[in-house]
Amino acid sequence: MSLFRLTRNPETEPLVRGDGLYLRPAVAADYSGWAHLRAESRNFLTPWEPTWPEDDLTRAAFRRRLRRQVEDMTRDESFTFLIFDAVTDALLGGLTLGGIRRGVSQAATLGYWMGAAHAGKGRMTRAVSAATRYGFSTLRLHRVEAACLPENVASMTLLEHNGFKREGLARAYLKIDGAWRDHVLYALLEHEAPRGF
């Protein structure tokens, strides 16, 4: 790991710009918009996410998220972003390049969520494109991995549109909505990433 990675300040991380949107780390002022979007999208998101803690949408829980975000970025372990519309600055969702493995791997795992009102409009496809470009160029990753439930056709389509290749099925891979669920595994290698998307 380079000295640059150990001494970077997450508060000064640049925006990740995409087609009609941008990504940036969350800040304290994002709490109200984030909590509102997550609350109104709860039924939409629940089938695809781990069980939410009882205090998940509280200000205290959000402050813990912010502390963990800074710690993870400082240690070069995970980069978490909120996604915003470039014209209106409306919060659309979130995205993480996490579980970063350096050394011989140079890999990360991609996770994402979109607010219910913004889903199905191609925005997450564009956000994933911007995030993977950031991962390969700025974070110097070689591989970005993702996993989704076999019935999540929208997520599989999104990943494939961004050049991800299906690599297999992981049994009881993640605990989603209270149950251990199989996941379809995908990965994108640096040289496979679509250019100019």
Structural domains of the chain sorted by starting position, each given as residue range(s) with its CATH number in brackets: 3-141 (3.40.630.30)
**Distances from the Cα of 65 to the Cα of 31, 53, 81, 103, 124, angstroms:** 10, 13, 12, 27, 22
pLDDT in tens, 73-107: 999 999 999 999 999 999 999 999 999 999 999 99
What is the pLDDT, as a whole number, of residue 193?
84
DSSP-based three-state secondary structure for 167: strand
Q: Are 33 and 88 in contact (CB under 8 A)?
A: no
Cα 26–chain centre separation: 12
pLDDT at 5 over 50: no
Cβ atoms within 10 Å of 21's Cβ, excluding its own:
22
- The pLDDT tens digits for 103-129 are 999 999 999 999 999 999 999 999 999
Task: Pick the more confident residue, 195 or 153.
Answer: 153
- Is the confidence at residue 15, as pLDDT, over 90? no
Q: Please state the pTM of the whole predicted model.
A: 0.90
Average pLDDT (20-26) is 96
